[in-house]
Structure 1
Amino acid sequence: MKVSNLMIRLFTLLMMVITNNSVATMAGCSKWTKLETQTDCVVSTVQLIASPSSYENRRIRLAGVVNFEYERNLLYMDIYSYEERLYENAINLALDVEDIEPLIQVNGELVRIYGKFKKLSDGFYYLTEVSHIKLKDGGLVLFDDSRGKVIPSIIRK
C-alpha cells in the first residue's frame, strides 16, 4: 500500500503540533536529552522543524538520512522524505568542505550528526560547525580543518 503525500504531510503536521506544545514548555533541552555540556542535547528533526528558535545557537545531535550535493546538503527526518525529496522534512547542513565527493558515498544512510544550530544571514536555519557524523554501521565521517580547508574523511568499520 502506497502512502500518499497528503497523508505524510498530515502526519508531519500533527507531529509538529504535538511536539511544538512540549517544546514550548521545555524551552530547549530537557535533563533527559543533555549530552556532554549544558548546551548539548539530542533533538528530533520534528522538534527542530516545529520550533527552530528553541535550539538556536545550541550544539545538538540529530538523527536522520543524509543527502550531500554540490548545491545543497540536507538531513531528512526519514527515508521516505529522502526518497521523495520532501524538503519541508529536512534540515539544511552548512558544510564548508573543500571536496564534497567523499560525502556523496554516504547519501541515503541513517546517521547521527553533531553540530551547532544557527540562523544564517539568508534568514534560514542550518546545522553548522559539524564536528562529526556517526554512520549506522558504526563508521565515522570526520572533518579535518588542520590545513585551513575542511577535508572530510570516512572511516568504515
Structure 2
Amino acid sequence: MSTFSQIETIQADLGGGFDRVPELAEKTTEIRTTLRAEAEKCRALASRTLPTSALFMVPQPRLCSRAASQQLPIRAAQDWHHCRAPVGGKDGRTPPSPKVAVVTGFDEVGPWGSARTRGEQESRGELTIEGIIEMAWMMGMIRHVNGKLKNSKAFFV
C-alpha cells in the first residue's frame, strides 16, 4: 500500500457504501422511530419494576482468593548516602563522573510495554494482574509510595 501511494493518490470510500442505499434517509428514520418506541416501553416498564428489582439489593460480601500469582518481597528503602565513594581516582586514570556512561541493563519497549508484558500478551492473549500493574506503572498511572501519603495518616511501604 505504501508503494502504491508513492505512485498515485489512493482513494478509499470509508463510508461503507451507504451512498448506494436507495431511500437511506427514510429507512434510518423508520429504524430510529422503532428503536425510540422500544426504548420508551423499556423505560416505562423499568420505572414500575425497578424499586423492587435485584438492582437495589445489596449483595453479601464474600471472600475472594488473591488474584496475583507473583509474590515480590518489598523492602524499605535504605539510606545509601554513607556508601558514596569519591569518583575520579588520584591515579589520573579514572575519568571524572560527568564523562562516565553507566549502563545498568536493557529491555524492550513497544506497544505491549516491556518484554514481560509482551510475552504475556503473545502467550496468553491477555495480561495478568501483574502485567496490568506493570503497564500502569510504565505509563505513569500508578507510582510506588514509601511513606505517608498526602492528607493521610496511613503509612505505605
TM-score, length-normalised on structure 1? 0.21
- Higher percent of residues as helix: 2
Query: Structure 2-normalised TM-score?
Result: 0.21
Select the structure of larger CA radius of gyration.
Answer: 2
Please state which structure has a larger fraction of its residues in strand.
Answer: 1
Greater RCO between the two (CA within 8 Å, min separation 6)?
1
